[in-house]
Amino acid sequence: MGDYLQAIELQTKSVIIQEKILGYDDPQLAYSYSNLGLYYHQCRYWSKGFEYLNRAKSILQVVSGDDHPDTTSVILNLGLMYQDCDQFGAAISCFTESLYRNISLYGDTHFQVVQCYQAIA
Q: What is the pLDDT of residues 7-63, one digit of tens each?
A: 899 999 999 999 999 999 999 999 999 999 999 999 999 999 999 999 999 999 999
Provide the mean pLDDT of the chain. 90
Q: Where in the chain is the domain with CATH 1.25.40?
A: 1-64
Nearest C-alpha neighbor of 78 from the set 34, 30, 14, 39: 34
pTM metric for this prediction: 0.85
Residue 110 has what DSSP assignment? S
Integer Cα distance of 100 and 121 in angstroms:
15
Integer Cα distance of 87 and 116 in angstroms:
17
CATH code, 1-64: 1.25.40
Whether 11 and 32 have beta carbons less than 8 Å apart is answered as yes
pLDDT at 121 over 90: no
Whether 23 and 31 have beta carbons less than 8 Å apart is answered as no
Integer Cα distance of 55 and 90 in angstroms:
17
Return the pLDDT at 117.
67
Return the pLDDT at 66.
85
